[in-house]
Amino acid sequence: MITPYPNTQTREEAIAMRPDTRPITNRIAYRACVQGEQPAEILAPADRERLVYELHHHGWTDIEIAAHTRMTTYTVGRIRTRLGLGANHGRAA
């Protein structure tokens, strides 16, 4: 079975690892980061993963995510790779 998370064995394990299924630690801080008002470094690591996951899911590139969250492209790429996500390429204008 192919899963988006190569280190898992079952669908349940894959779902449990997805950042969008975990509770948000601090909703106010998370919302501020989603809106670009605060840097992602104020978030817990799991919430940063969720933020990258959600922005990536909406088609954002690593560069766009990095600029919006005030993380480096290296950090965004590392989180994206850890989540088993491929790189998004520029969105059509």
55 lies in some domain: yes
Mean pLDDT of 63-92: 92
Which amino acid would we find at residue 47? Answer: D
4 lies in some domain: no
Q: Which structural domain range is residue 27 located in?
A: 11-82
- Considering only 2-6, 37-41, 50-54, which range has the smallest mean pLDDT? 2-6
Could you tell me the pTM of the whole model?
A: 0.77
Q: Could you identify the residue written with the tokens 């766009």?
A: 64
The pLDDT-based confidence of 54 (bands split at 50, 70, 90) is: very high
Give me the number of domains the chain comprises. 1
73 lies in some domain: yes
Counting every residue, how long is the chain?
A: 93
Give yes or no for a contact between 33 and 39, defined as CB atoms under 8 angstroms apart.
yes
Mean pLDDT of 67-80: 96
